[in-house]
Structure 1
Amino acid sequence: MKTEDRVVFKIEQLTNKDVSNLIELSSAVGWDYDEHEIQTILSSGLVYGHKNAEGEIVSSAAIIPYDTNLASIGMVIVHPEYRGFGLGKEVTQTCIDRVSEDTSIMLISTEEGKPLYERLGFRTVDVVHKFLCEKFISNTVNSTNDFTLDPFQTQDFLKLKQLVAAAFGDQRSTFLLNRIKQSKRCVVVKNQYDEIIGFGLSIQGPVNLIVGPIVALDDKIAASIINALATNQGGNIRIDVPSGHPEFMTFLDTCGFKKVNEPPVMMKNSAAMPRRNHELFGIAAQVFG
């Protein structure tokens, strides 16, 4: 606990009883976290925050440890009325301290947050491409008999987990299970031999239908997944695309998506992104990497 200018701050691990206050905190900075998203974060990782003398949450940060040697930091928020006290640095450092020095930590930064993360030892290694769509235009992909899209079933999970691990760069079993439970729609793509060669899901947020993660063998399969998840859904749609998929991003443009930002991807305890096989076409969300 510390006192600055007669303001008392206490940092603690946050739980399900803090969900409504975390929603209020995110709204204070114009972010659109809702109850379901925050509960997925809480059930997949650890969330910390400062509380003032009245018990109100004035900062937050989450760390999501994955199965082996990678973790993701996100939901780093400081209430506008409580900036300047070093809360962002302290709560982020608390997250860093919860994993070993051998764990690579990734985050997707805002431009405003980048100097803070650099002071904490993070370095920019890549960017993601944030796309928004106000009205989705279905763009028919050349149809073949090479693959089918089917609703996810529980028996698909083991193979699905392996597919996602190769695309993302680490196993993340707990998060993946939680995200599938949260999803509005979840599809798997199978070839003629009944092998899973693609996967995608959508999450209905308060502002946007969030599409991702999307894992696919190629651009055509990724485009088919987008069509399956976004057609006739209505409302705004968001997808964050990793670098290295120019043809897929061109396809998104034909569907009515517009690129609005390129947030930097930053790493600590590693000089580069985890090894991936170039089959990750859409990330789950910036908090999850």
Structure 2
Amino acid sequence: MAKRYTGGLGKTAHQGTVHPVSKKDIEEIIDVDEKAFGARRERLLRLRIEQASIGAVLRNRAGRAAGFALGVPGPERMVIGPVVAPDEEAAALLIDRIAGWAPGPVRIDIPSQHRRLADFLTRRGFETVRHPPVMMRNGNALPPGGHLFAVASQAFG
């Protein structure tokens, strides 16, 4: 959780560009999420996109969606997630945009395998509050590849 995000990603070598999510991005976001999560979560993602007050889509040099992040307002803070990206640098770029656009405190739930990303966020104002488990149905591990950098919420994965 970050009460105050300090930002400061600075210049990045990442080749993608980040844009606010629009309705035309939804189908590509669903496809990118399916590849990262290992299941098609169309209903959940449509609902989360509708609930999100801010969202960012990462487009590669060819103009195709390569990642995304959503910011969903909660009663006390904005929840960032899911975050899907091709690598940790791209995930940091997406999170930086959402946290920077957020009007107040933010929370993000990152799978424990992403230590470098967690360290990056700690240096920018996030603090580790707890290490909750990620709940899953019909499985006991996140899909291989490590492209899911933050879950939608603890309950949704």
Same fold (TM over 0.5): yes
Matched letter for residue 262 of structure 1:
H
CA RMSD of the aligned region, Å?
1.8
CA apart distance, 1:227: 1.3
Task: Name the CA distance, whole Å, in 1 between partners of 2:17 and 2:138.
Answer: 40
Kindly provide the CA deviation profile for residues 187-224 of structure 1, in whole angstroms up to 9, marking residues without a partner as x. Answer: 10001110211100101111011111000111111111
Q: Which of structures 1 and 2 has the larger relative contact order (alpha carbons within 8 angstroms, sep 6+)?
A: 2
Q: Secondary structure at the match of 2:25?
A: helix
CA distance in 2: counterparts of 1:250 and 1:170, whole angstroms? 29
Structure 2 Cα separation of the partners of residues 155 and 244 of structure 1:
32
- Among residues 50, 69, 73, which one is paired with 1:200 in the alignment? 69
In the alignment, does 2:55 pair up with 1:182? no
Contact 2:6 2:125 in 1 (8 A): yes
- For these two proteins, the number of residue pairs brought into alignment is 157
The runs of at least 4 consecutive aligned structure 1 residues that moved more than 4 Å come to 266-270
Q: Secondary structure at the match of 1:155?
A: helix
Contact kept, 8 Å, 2:135 with 2:156, in 1: the verdict is no
How far the C-alpha of 1:239 sits from its partner, in A, is 0.3
Who is 1:216 aligned against? 85
Offset of 1:235 from its aligned partner? 2.3
Change (3 A) 1:283 1:156: same
Q: Is the 8 A contact 1:146 1:191 kept in 2?
A: yes
Aligned-pair distance for 1:140? 1.8
Unaligned 5+ residue runs, structure 2? none
Show structure 1 runs of 5+ residues with no match: 1-131
Say yes or no: does 1:283 pair with 2:116. no
**TM-score with structure 2 length normalisation?**
0.91
- Over 3 Å counting, the alpha-carbon distance change for 1:260 and 1:191 in structure 2 is same
Once the two structures are superposed, what CA deviation does each residue of 1:235-277 show, in whole Å capped at 9, x if it has no partner? Answer: 221000012111100100011111111113455654x325342
User: Hey, what's the Cα distance between the residues in 2 that align with 1:153 and 1:195?
Assistant: 14
Percent sequence identity over aligned pairs? 32
Residues 26-70 of structure 1 show CA distances to partners (whole Å, capped at 9, x for unaligned) of xxxxxxxxxxxxxxxxxxxxxxxxxxxxxxxxxxxxxxxxxxxxx
User: Would you say 1:173 and 2:45 are equivalent positions?
Assistant: no
What amino acid is aligned across from residue 48 of structure 2 in structure 1? R
In 2, Cα distance between equivalents of 1:226 and 1:267: 23
Determine which structure has the larger strand proportion and give its number. 1
Letter in 2 for 1:195: R
In the aligned structure 1, how far is the partner of 2:137 from the partner of 2:19?
38
Residue 277 of structure 1 aligns to which amino acid in structure 2? G
TM-score under structure 1 normalisation?
Answer: 0.51
The residue identity in structure 1 corresponding to 2:44 is F
Q: Tell me if 1:259 matches 2:109.
A: no
Q: Which has the larger radius of gyration?
A: 1
Cα gap change, 1:138 to 1:267, in 2 (>3 Å): closer
Written as runs of structure 1 = structure 2, the 5 A alignment for 1:134-173 is: 134-144=3-13, 146-173=15-42
